[in-house]
């Protein structure tokens, strides 16, 4: 049996309440509870608070509104009975107060409310109460960190954490996609899509994943980029028409090579040595009708020497020789003209052709 409420602190209107110093009878003795006790007082004087302390013993847990409250009961038993022992109360307690009405008789304060069953009649009461107690124990409490309720709280907290991590990862991923779309594709002239957005890059990625397209290596990427480039190239100039004259040159050369000259009295030594023959020919140009002695050795130049040389270098053969030299020069000139004509494409267009 309860005899008094020894102490109350940090509980609504009660702070540093001490029963022995406060509750006295008419002759100033410390008063105690009787079998029946009536407590009355004005509104907000603490009546409901007192009932909530007893209801903590009934429910086996402290009132959530006052987590820092402390109190201690006096009773006829030997065990301590305070705010730390509410889960171990051995007394059968039933409290009918405002909290009970709010939890079980909502119909009294709200026409749409319901009424929760609060008593079971019949012989099976004990078994049902036992089963309820077992289920309540299995359900546990978030406050006491036990049972399914605490497990559910942990799962809910874990879900919130995982959801937050997922949203952060998605936000970071979207940031990278948005940067890729805006900086690498949207503003890149080779893709030519100023309206490229994150939605488009997501659609492209989904399309690639579904079609199982293989990733390109660096070489392939560069090759594809070159194909996307749209650069204007210089016009390719037509090769100018070239009128070759090799045919006429061939006919002239054939004519020269078929010409015959009259036999002369040749000097065999000069015929055997072409360089010597050319040296003598140059000497004639420098000496004939100019000198009487050889400018090289100083020997006298006789008249019969000129006759011998004139017989070797006849006028007819000299004319043929000069014609052949002219023909060779004409052929070489024509070859150079043909080469320049075939390579007359503007040099500025050649790099553009190579780049493409």
pLDDT of residue 284: 67
Q: Counting Cβ atoms within 10 Å, is residue 81 exposed (0-12), middle (13-18) or buried (19+)?
A: buried
Give the CB-side neighbour count of residue 142, counting CA atoms within 13 A. 8
Whether 129 is covered by a domain: the verdict is: no
The answer to whether residue 131 sits within a structural domain is no
- 304 and 259 assigned to the same domain: yes
Shared domain for 7 and 112, answered yes or no, is: yes
The per-residue pLDDT for 277 is 67
Residue ranges of the chain with pLDDT lower than 50? 263, 345-356
* Per-residue model confidence (pLDDT) at position 128: 81
Residue 238 within a domain: no
Within a domain: residue 203?
A: yes
Residue 239 lies in a domain: no
Q: Are residues 261 and 318 in the same domain?
A: yes
Transcribe 135-185 into DSSP letters: HHHHH-BTTTTBHHHHHHHHHHHHHHHHHHHHHHHHHHHHHHHHHIIIIII
Q: Report the pLDDT value the prediction gives residue 349, as an integer from 0 to 100.
A: 45
pLDDT for the residue numbered 345: 44
How far CA 274 is from CA of 5, 209, 268, in Å, comes to: 148, 84, 11
Given this model, what pLDDT does residue 260 score?
59
The tokens for 93 are 């307690």
Question: Does residue 66 form part of some domain?
Answer: yes
178 and 263, same domain (yes or no): no
Residue 267, φ and ψ in degrees, nearest 5: -90, 115
pLDDT at 119: 64
Is residue 62 packed enough to be buried (19+ CB in 10 Å), middle (13-18) or exposed (0-12)?
buried
What would you report as the CA-atom Rg of the chain, rounded to the nearest whole angstrom? 63
Same-domain check for residues 194 and 263? no
273 shares its domain with 340: yes
Same domain for 82 and 17: yes
Tally the domains of the chain: 3
Please check whether residues 220 and 258 belong to one and the same domain: no
**Which residue stretches of 14-67 are H helix?**
19-22, 47-59
The per-residue pLDDT for 263 is 46
Within a 13 Å sphere around the CA of 4, how many CA atoms are in the beta-carbon half?
14
Closest-CA residue to 313 (of 288, 280, 287) = 280
Same domain, 193 and 104: no
Give counts: helices (H), strands (E), the chain: 13, 3
Residue with tokens 């008094």: 4
Query: Does residue 125 belong to any structural domain of this protein?
Result: no
Q: Residues 6 or more apart from 114 whose CB is under 8 A from it?
A: 106, 107
Domain holding 258, by residue range, is: 246-355
Query: What is the C-alpha separation between 42 and 27, in angstroms, rounded?
Result: 25
Q: Is residue 309 part of a domain?
A: yes
Question: Of 51, 26, 31, whose CA–CA distance to 40 is shortest?
Answer: 51
Q: Could you tell me the two tokens for 172? A: 């970071």
Per the listing, tokens 């004409």 go with 330
223 and 258 fall within a common domain:
no
Give the pLDDT confidence score for residue 155 in this predicted structure.
93
Same domain flag for 222 and 256: no
Angle between helices 246-258 and 315-342 (to 10 degrees): 160
278 and 209 within one domain: no
| pTM of structure | 0.35
User: How many residues does the structure list for the chain?
Assistant: 356
Backbone angles phi, psi at 115, to 5 degrees: -120, 125
User: What confidence score (pLDDT) does residue 270 get?
Assistant: 62
Could you give the 3-state DSSP secondary structure of residue 74? strand
pLDDT of residue 271: 58
Alpha-carbon span 10 to 17, nearest angstrom: 9
């Amino acid at each position: 049996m309860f005899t008094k409420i020894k102490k109350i602190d940090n509980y609504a209107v009660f702070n540093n309440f001490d029963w022995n110093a406060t509750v006295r009878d008419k002759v100033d003795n410390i008063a105690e509870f009787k079998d029946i006790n009536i407590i009355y007082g004005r509104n907000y004087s603490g009546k409901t608070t007192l009932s909530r302390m007893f209801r903590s013993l009934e429910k086996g847990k402290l009132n959530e509104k006052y987590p820092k409250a402390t109190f201690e009961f006096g009773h006829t038993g030997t065990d301590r009975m305070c705010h730390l022992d509410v889960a171990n109360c051995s007394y059968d307690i039933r409290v009918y107060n405002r909290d009970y009405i709010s939890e079980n008789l909502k119909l009294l304060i709200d026409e749409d409310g319901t009424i929760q069953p609060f008593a079971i009649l019949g012989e099976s009461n004990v078994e049902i109460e036992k089963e309820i107690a077992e289920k309540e124990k299995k359900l546990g409490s978030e406050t006491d960190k036990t049972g399914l309720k605490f497990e559910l709280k942990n799962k809910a907290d874990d879900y919130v954490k995982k959801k937050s991590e997922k949203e952060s990862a998605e936000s970071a991923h979207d940031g990278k996609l948005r940067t890729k779309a805006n900086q690498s594709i949207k503003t890149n002239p080779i893709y030519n899509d100023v309206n490229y957005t994150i939605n488009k890059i997501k659609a492209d990625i989904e399309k690639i994943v579904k079609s199982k397209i293989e990733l390109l290596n660096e070489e392939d990427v560069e090759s594809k980029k070159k194909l996307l480039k749209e650069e204007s190239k210089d016009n390719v100039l037509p090769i100018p028409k070239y009128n070759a004259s090799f045919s006429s040159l061939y006919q002239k050369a054939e004519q020269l090579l078929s010409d015959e000259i009259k036999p002369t009295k040749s000097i065999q030594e000069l015929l055997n040595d072409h360089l010597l023959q050319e040296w003598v020919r140059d000497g004639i140009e420098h000496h004939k009708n100019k000198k009487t002695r050889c400018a090289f050795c100083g020997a006298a130049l006789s008249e019969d020497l000129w006759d011998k040389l004139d017989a070797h270098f006849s006028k007819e053969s000299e004319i043929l020789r000069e014609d052949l030299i002219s023909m060779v020069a004409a052929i070489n000139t024509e070859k150079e003209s043909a080469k320049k004509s075939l390579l007359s494409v503007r040099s500025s267009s050649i790099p553009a052709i190579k780049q493409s």
